[in-house]
């Protein structure tokens, strides 16, 4: 075996597993030469003009690793192809390698300005072509390791870090002001019950099943896991009708054991995606309330959770707030719990003094709303520099009302659960 053959063996090992290349070339001879050079080491797809290649790429973009592109073609030339790819949010990351002749310096400069990754000179040199493609594959693998840090290990969709990186990138797109975006917020139903009554393996299976179903419906969208049981879907260039049909199709795929509450909204422009997500989140809670009607055993805050569990949960959330938290019995007014800030909030010198003075009178200090708490969550909103900007406490009641308590607003909010009332005291001191 000659030295060149040994070098080729190493190259082939380095390329495993072999990616798929899309060759867009109208000249039959040139296309066959490239297929002969690369076909032994890659899975090859060919297209005879830019439009044919673009249509295939849009439909199979997740399968293509590299595009090899000729410039001078009928119907759609290489420049038009590049421009279309770079303007497509699903395609712009795919590396494009342009085939050129040695004298096409201006052509190469123009292609580089348009975002082309590399060039292959004509006449073709097999070893050089393989080396350049191999280098691209190595770079793709390196970039994939970065992508992995933004990917949820359980489901394979992007995580919260990936979500924030993407919405910042989307806002900077040239057509960000004109693009429409369908936003869907999902919250898996009954996950806590599955984890408690079965095990976390069953819970993981439920999560993956919901994601798999969502992928089948929103197959061309970006999906993010932003919480333990919460997901965001961003689907570009939707209309009210198309988005509504997809959400209805999604709901028809649910079963008694596998389902999620869903909220959706269509926004025009990508500059403030988070505002749209907040609206979809709100709509999701309306759907969640409907799901829990007549199903108290499924709810985190009904029969499956004791009052002592609720006290610990709300107490932990209240520690984020610049005020206090306490709980008292509705029938007697007896104080059963308070956190470390509540005495100061109410103006007492110590917790002991407060407990002594308000033991049977606390229900006259605050007025309990006649609500049952369905869901509670804390949203810590931070500046880019990392400092906390505000803290929001979101309380969803069984009757569908939503309360939002923001830091910086002096207020007293009371909710009831069973025989206990939970009081959140927010100070205007930040």
What is the C-alpha to C-alpha distance for residues 335 and 317, in angstroms, rounded to an integer?
19
> For 203-228, what is the HEC assignment?
HHHHHHHHHHHHHHHCCCCEEEECCC
User: Where are any strands of DSSP class E within 172-293?
Assistant: 180-188, 222-225, 230-236, 260-268
Six-digit token string for 161: 């870090």
- CB atoms under 10 Å from CB of 122, counted, come to 14
Q: What is the pLDDT of residue 332?
A: 57
CATH number of the 160-295 domain: 3.30.70.270
| Assigned CATH class of 3-147 | alpha beta
Q: Where along the chain do its domains lie?
A: 3-147, 160-295, 307-426
C-alpha dihedral (48, 51, 54, 58), degrees to nearest 10: -120
169 near 177, Cβ under 8 Å? no
Q: For residue 164, which phi and psi values (nearest 5 degrees)?
A: -65, -35
Q: What is the pLDDT of residue 404?
A: 46
Q: What is the pLDDT of residue 139?
A: 76
Q: Which residues pair with 312 in a beta bridge?
A: none
DSSP tag of 18:
P
Cα–Cα nearest to 294, from 307, 283, 303 = 303
pTM: 0.42
What is the C-alpha to C-alpha distance for residues 69 and 88, in angstroms, rounded to an integer?
17
Six-digit token string for 178: 């004109």
Q: What is the pLDDT of residue 337?
A: 57
Q: What is the pLDDT of residue 392?
A: 43
- Cα torsion angle, 53, 58, 59, 60, sign: positive
Q: What is the pLDDT of residue 295?
A: 53
- CB atoms under 10 Å from CB of 178, counted, come to 10
Using the structure block, give the residue that is written with the tokens 């494009």. 96
Q: Which residues pair with 22 in a beta bridge?
A: 45, 67
Cα–Cα nearest to 158, from 236, 231, 225, 219 = 225
Q: Which long-range contacts (CB under 8 A, 24 or more apart) does 412-418 make?
A: 412/366, 414/366, 414/367, 414/368, 414/369, 415/368, 415/369, 415/371, 415/372, 415/373, 416/330, 416/368, 416/369, 416/370, 416/371, 416/372, 416/373, 417/301, 417/307, 417/310, 417/372, 417/373, 418/307
In order along its 430 residues, the chain shows pLDDT tens digits of 334 333 333 343 444 567 899 999 999 999 999 999 998 889 999 999 999 999 999 999 888 999 999 988 989 998 999 988 888 878 888 899 998 775 567 777 777 778 788 888 888 888 888 888 888 887 777 666 655 678 888 898 998 888 988 999 999 999 999 999 999 999 998 887 787 677 778 888 899 999 999 999 998 899 999 888 899 999 999 999 999 999 999 998 998 888 999 999 999 999 889 899 988 988 888 888 777 665 544 433 333 334 444 455 555 554 444 455 556 565 555 555 555 455 554 455 555 555 554 443 333 232 233 233 334 333 333 333 333 333 344 444 445 555 444 433 233 445 555 556 555 554 443 3
Q: What is the pLDDT of residue 244?
A: 92
């Amino acid at each position: 075996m000659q030295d060149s053959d040994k070098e080729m063996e190493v190259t082939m090992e380095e390329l495993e597993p072999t990616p798929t290349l899309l060759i867009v070339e109208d000249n039959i001879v040139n296309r066959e030469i490239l297929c002969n050079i690369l076909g032994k080491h890659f899975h090859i797809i060919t297209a005879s003009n830019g439009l044919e290649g673009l249509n295939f790429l849009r439909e199979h973009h997740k399968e293509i690793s590299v595009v090899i592109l000729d410039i001078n073609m009928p119907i759609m030339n290489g420049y038009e192809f590049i421009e279309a790819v770079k303007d497509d949010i699903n395609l712009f990351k795919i590396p494009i390698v342009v085939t050129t002749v040695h004298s096409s310096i201006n052509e190469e400069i123009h292609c580089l300005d348009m975002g082309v990754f590399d060039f292959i000179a004509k006449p073709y040199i097999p070893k050089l072509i393989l080396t350049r493609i191999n280098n691209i594959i190595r770079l793709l693998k390196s970039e994939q390791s970065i992508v992995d840090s933004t990917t949820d290990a359980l489901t394979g969709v992007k995580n919260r870090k990936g979500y924030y990186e993407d919405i910042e990138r989307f806002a900077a797109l040239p057509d960000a002001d004109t693009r429409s975006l369908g936003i869907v917020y999902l919250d898996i139903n009954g996950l806590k019950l599955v984890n408690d009554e079965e095990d976390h393996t069953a819970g993981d299976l439920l999560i993956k099943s919901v994601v798999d179903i969502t992928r089948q419906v929103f197959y061309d969208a970006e999906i993010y896991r932003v919480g333990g049981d919460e997901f965001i879907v961003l689907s570009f260039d939707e209309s009210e009708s198309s988005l509504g049909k997809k959400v209805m199709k999604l709901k028809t795929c649910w079963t008694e054991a596998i389902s999620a509450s869903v909220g959706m909204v269509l926004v025009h422009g990508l500059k403030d995606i988070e505002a749209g997500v907040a609206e979809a989140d709100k709509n999701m809670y309306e759907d969640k309330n409907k799901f829990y009607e007549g199903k108290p055993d499924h709810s985190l805050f009904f029969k499956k959770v004791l009052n002592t569990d609720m006290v610990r949960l709300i107490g932990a959330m209240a520690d984020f707030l610049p005020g206090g938290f306490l709980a008292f019995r509705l029938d007697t007014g007896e104080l059963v719990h308070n956190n470390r800030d509540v005495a100061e909030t109410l103006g007492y010198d110590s917790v002991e003094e407060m407990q002594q003075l308000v033991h049977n009178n606390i229900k006259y200090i605050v007025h309990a709303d006649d609500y049952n708490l369905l869901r509670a969550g804390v949203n810590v909103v931070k500046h880019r520099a990392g400092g906390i900007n505000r803290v929001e406490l979101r309380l969803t009641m069984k009757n569908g009302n939503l309360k939002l308590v923001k830091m910086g607003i002096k207020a007293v909010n009371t909710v009831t659960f069973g025989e206990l009332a939970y009081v959140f005291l927010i100070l205007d001191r930040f």
